[in-house]
């Protein structure tokens, strides 16, 4: 929708006055989300897209050769000289290694493909050796990250059940020296694998294939033996299965708690289905400013259409502290607190707003929503920041002020989010590094496509600095950030966007618009004046925000 400058000012005033956080839309929630209709819609789109890729041969990962160290030079890492499909856009990130899924134990079949999904790592506290568990179609690959920046395939754990079937994706999380592997494959359950088993394997003789009986424990007390995701509270020693279908079960695919005190005998502790399906969550002992909940066991739930915060101290009778939606909500997917030891803010990604063309995701640039959670009963959506390449944002994890986010076809993106406590609007956030693992869409408008291909997840917790990036189609990348840049002060170099706002014709209207725009963050592209939308054609909200900060202040009338 295009607006005149006057209408824009009116709409902007309403946007500034209205909160970006919203109450849950109960009717929409019941009909679209709680029923599973939205999830079914998204899965149908993904499966159709993936089947087309499979038919085109994109999932035959054996076509991708092993790649070695390649320095990022002038914005590209040319792993194979002259080959555009092995030349990767980058910033402050070098490529160290690449191995395709077929080599790692997930070969191409006649009717299926080799796909990658979630990943997590483990470091042996005694030797410092670093290992990865990489989720794939036929099972989970175990990889050692060598100090020289090479990956060594150590072992492979197949899917547990049913015999002969494979899991389209897996979610992997850690508990002490164990890795927990969940899947939506019916009967899969949650495998609990002891990573210390990898220490004695001589991988020079080839990777070791484990039996499904080699796991330490196997949690299967789920309605259908399946779960979308696994959440772990390391400190309190329990896990949570979330999204464990069906939604009609007593737990409603919400939070299902299980004890990990003895990983060989995981036992169910209780469940909570008060807000229905939970897609992902982070559960932590609360250490934040809200004194009412100090020391309580808090779960931050990403529940399709809301950020839902639970007090789960009592696993048999959890309570909902708050349930909040937001402007632009399409599919509340995942998030992470900014600081686990001072839980004041969290970041939230919505997996479908760019594809659904709603809210701040209308222009197809990935949106990350910033939440002030200093009052757990009344969280506030204070701001957002946007990616620099058109794509869909996926899983993200915050480490020492940096958010490592997987952006499907735009690859690994790293944002400096350390400024958020001082500026919760996101105005001080910047992208300091990236490695785009999907060259196929680089020529698209905005540098990328809004599709469900590319990278699923990454792991960036290793002390060595190596980052493991798992992709859906190709295989596993090992990369490393070369330097941590500071966010630069916003410059006022004139571009078409700024010129349009400060032109003689538009200046007065721009000053009126920007006066309200800069008082808060604005998520709706529709409130931007038509002339600004036309000039700031890509990543509109980010570009207009930058241009507004460069406008001269409106003259103040003085009395005669």
- What tens digit of pLDDT does each residue of 166-204 get? 788 899 999 999 999 999 999 999 999 999 999 999 998
Predicted confidence (pLDDT) per residue in 464-518, tens digit: 999 999 999 999 999 999 999 999 877 787 788 888 888 888 899 988 888 877 6
Residue 242 to residues 256, 303, 343, 430, 492: CA-CA distances in angstroms?
Answer: 6, 10, 22, 32, 46
Inform me whether the pLDDT recorded for 340 exceeds 70: yes
Confidence category of residue 109, pLDDT binned at 50, 70, 90: low
Phi, psi at 429, each rounded to 5°: -80, 140
Phi, psi at 485, each rounded to 5°: -75, 155
Nearest partner of 520 among 431, 428, 427, judged by Cα? 427
Inform me whether the pLDDT recorded for 2 exceeds 70: no
Contact assessment for residue 175 and residue 260, using Cβ atoms and an 8 Å cutoff:
yes
Residue 162, pLDDT score: 67
DSSP, res 137? S
Q: Considering the entire predicted model, what is its pTM?
A: 0.91
Query: In the chain, how many H helices and how many E strands?
Result: 8, 32
Predicted confidence (pLDDT) per residue in 19-37, tens digit: 589 999 999 999 999 999 9
Contact assessment for residue 468 and residue 459, using Cβ atoms and an 8 Å cutoff:
yes
Inform me whether the pLDDT recorded for 8 exceeds 60: no
Higher pLDDT, 250 or 163: 250
Predicted confidence (pLDDT) per residue in 291-336, tens digit: 999 999 999 999 999 999 999 999 999 999 999 999 999 999 999 9
pLDDT above 70: percentage of residues in the chain: 93
């Amino acid at each position: 929708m295009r607006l005149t400058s006057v209408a824009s000012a009116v709409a902007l005033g309403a946007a500034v006055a209205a909160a970006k956080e919203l109450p849950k839309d109960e009717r929409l929630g019941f009909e679209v989300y709680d029923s599973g209709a939205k999830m079914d819609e998204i899965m149908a789109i993904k499966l159709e897209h993936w089947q087309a890729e499979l038919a085109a041969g994109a999932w035959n990962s054996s076509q991708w050769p092993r790649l070695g160290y390649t320095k990022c030079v002038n914005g590209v890492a040319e792993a194979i000289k002259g080959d555009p499909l092995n030349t990767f856009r980058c910033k402050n990130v070098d490529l160290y290694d690449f191995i395709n899924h077929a080599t790692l134990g997930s070969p191409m079949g006649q009717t299926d493909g080799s796909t990658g999904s979630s990943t997590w790592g483990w470091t042996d506290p005694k030797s410092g050796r670093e290992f990865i568990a990489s989720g794939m179609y036929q099972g989970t690959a175990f990889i050692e990250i060598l100090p020289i920046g090479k990956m060594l395939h150590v072992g492979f754990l197949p899917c547990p059940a049913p015999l002969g079937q494979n899991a389209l994706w897996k979610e992997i999380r850690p508990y002490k020296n164990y890795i927990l592997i969940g899947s939506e494959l019916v009967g899969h359950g949650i495998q609990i694998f002891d990573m210390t088993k990898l220490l004695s394997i001589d991988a020079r003789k080839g990777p070791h294939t484990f039996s499904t009986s080699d796991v330490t424990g196997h949690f299967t007390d789920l309605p259908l033996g399946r779960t979308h995701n696994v959440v772990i509270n390391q400190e309190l020693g329990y896990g949570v299965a979330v999204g464990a279908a069906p939604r009609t079960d007593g737990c409603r695919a919400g939070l299902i708690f299980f004890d990990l005190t003895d990983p060989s005998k995981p036992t169910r502790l209780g469940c909570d289905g008060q807000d229905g399906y939970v897609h992902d969550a982070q559960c932590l002992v609360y250490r934040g400013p809200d004194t009412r909940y100090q020391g309580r066991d808090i779960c931050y739930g990403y529940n399709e259409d809301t950020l839902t915060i639970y007090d789960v101290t009592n696993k048999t009778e959890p309570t909902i502290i708050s349930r909040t939606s937001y402007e632009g909500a399409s599919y509340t997917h995942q998030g992470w607190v900014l600081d686990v030891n001072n839980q004041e803010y969290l970041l939230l990604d919505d997996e479908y707003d760019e594809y659904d063309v709603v809210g701040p995701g209308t222009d197809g640039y990935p949106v990350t929503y910033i939440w002030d959670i200093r009052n757990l009963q009344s969280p506030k959506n204070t701001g957002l920041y946007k990616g620099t390449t058109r794509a869909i944002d996926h899983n993200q994890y915050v480490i020492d002020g940096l958010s490592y986010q997987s952006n499907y076809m735009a690859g690994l993106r790293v944002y400096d989010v350390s400024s958020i406590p001082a500026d919760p609007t996101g105005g001080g956030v910047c992208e300091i590094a990236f490695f785009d693992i999907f060259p196929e869409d680089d020529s698209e408008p905005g540098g990328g496509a809004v599709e469900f291909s590319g990278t699923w997840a990454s792991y960036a917790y290793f002390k060595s600095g190596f980052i493991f990036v798992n992709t859906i189609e190709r295989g596993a990348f090992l990369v490393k950030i070369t330097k941590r840049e500071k966010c630069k002060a916003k410059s006022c170099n004139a571009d078409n966007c700024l010129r349009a706002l400060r032109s003689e014709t538009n200046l007065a209207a721009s000053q009126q618009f920007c006066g309200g725009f800069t008082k808060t963050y604005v998520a709706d592209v529709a409130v931007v004046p038509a002339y600004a939308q036309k000039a700031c054609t890509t990543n509109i909200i980010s570009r207009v925000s930058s241009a507004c900060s460069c406008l001269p202040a409106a003259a103040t009338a003085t009395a005669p």
